[in-house]
Amino acid sequence: MNRAVRQLVPRWHFAMMNDRARNEAYRTAIASTVRPGDVVLDIGTGAGLLALFAAERGAELVVTCESEPLVAAAARLVVAQSGFANRVRVVQAHSTELQVGVDLPRPADVLVSEIFDCALLGEGALPALGHARRRLLREDARMVPGRGRLLGQLVESPALYACNAVSTVEGFDLSVFDQFRTLEYFSTCVANYPNRMLSTPFVIFDFNFHSDDVPSRREIEVAVSAPGLCHAVMMWFELDLAPGIVLSNGIDQVGTHWRQAVQTFRKPVPVTAGAQIHITAAHDNERVLVWPGSDQDGESRQAGSEVSTRRIQMHRNDSAWQARRV
């Protein structure tokens, strides 16, 4: 029974709820954004923490939705114990099922959300926030966060590369096994692997959550700062929670419960200092892919595997994909 429950309520919830930097950043940002009398929509209740932060700032009503029934039921108990049950309404539903006039008395003044995996998009934030903006919010609604960036850095690290590729081991060529490599990013603590950064951080995607104008593909010229063999792009996010409050899962954020996202290249790319390397990034609203060069099929052919465009057309519930928070 416990195994079955953990399938529905992953253990990362605990590390997330105990992430002090995350909690304090959200609490401060919500305190500076929510005003007495506001109707607040919180997407993704979890245990209800962010909804309670909004209630304590005097929100008239906080509607907080949770798609997982077991989690929604637990949140209702937390809210009941908190003394805020008269102002926090837990709705067991995916946010895209909510309706103004049914679940919300009027379009919300504020949208709060924390549905971000280590590479920003993997928990479905873009479609959920887009839907909320079009259907559930006032036109001039405040958002926590209002903006999110995905950043990247070129990395030399044979040890990281060896997490997702194999060649000759003890004199035997095992490279046939490379057909099973992870073609998308995986999450790991990059600091646990010897590594050398070959570029300064660069922006992969910059999303204004107030806008429908969402970039889905970018060609990026990255300046190489040190010579070496580029094995991967390390990725992390920055969330603008409120003016002056930025939350990040960068490698320097000691104590963050999020790991970093790592996209290994099919083959290491030799780079020289002062040169530029062309990187392409694309996403399908939930999955980010990054590869060297501009020819996606070229990278996939190198991989000797399925063409990347098929990967990018997969749907969220495909068992082959799990969001990578940790």
Ligand X SMILES: C[S@@+](CC[C@H](N)C(=O)[O-])C[C@H]1O[C@@H](n2cnc3c(N)ncnc32)[C@H](O)[C@@H]1O
Q: Is 223 exposed, middle or buried (0-12, 13-18, 19+ CB in 10 A)?
A: middle
CA-to-CA distance for 52 and 166, rounded, in angstroms? 48
CA-to-CA distance for 64 and 42, rounded, in angstroms? 5
CB 72 within 8 A of CB 66: yes
Indicate the residue among 68 and 284 with the shorter CB distance to ligand X.
68
| Span of 60-68, 212-220, 265-273, 315-323 interacting with ligand X by CB under 6 A | 60-68
Indicate the residue among 233 and 239 with the shorter CB distance to ligand X.
239
**Residues numbered 70-109 forming contacts with ligand X, rule: CB under 6 A:** 71, 94-95
Binding mask 102-141 for ligand X (x = CB under 6 A): ------------xx-------xx---x-------------
- Minimum Å distance from CB 195 to ligand X? 27
- Minimum Å distance from CB 146 to ligand X? 16
Indicate the residue among 126 and 235 with the shorter CB distance to ligand X.
126
| Span of 38-46, 207-215, 255-263, 274-282 interacting with ligand X by CB under 6 A | 38-46
User: How many residues bind to ligand X according to rule CB under 6 A?
Assistant: 21
Indicate the residue among 67 and 296 with the shorter CB distance to ligand X.
67
165 binds ligand X (CB under 6 A): no
65 binds ligand X (CB under 6 A): yes
Binding mask 196-215 for ligand X (x = CB under 6 A): --------------------
249 binds ligand X (CB under 6 A): no
User: Which one of residues 38, 66, 109, 238 is an interface residue with ligand X (CB under 6 A)?
Assistant: 66
User: Which one of residues 33, 67, 188, 195 is an interface residue with ligand X (CB under 6 A)?
Assistant: 67
Kindly list the residues in this chain that would bind ligand X in the complex (CB under 6 A).
16-17, 43-47, 49-50, 65-68, 71, 94-95, 114-115, 123-124, 128
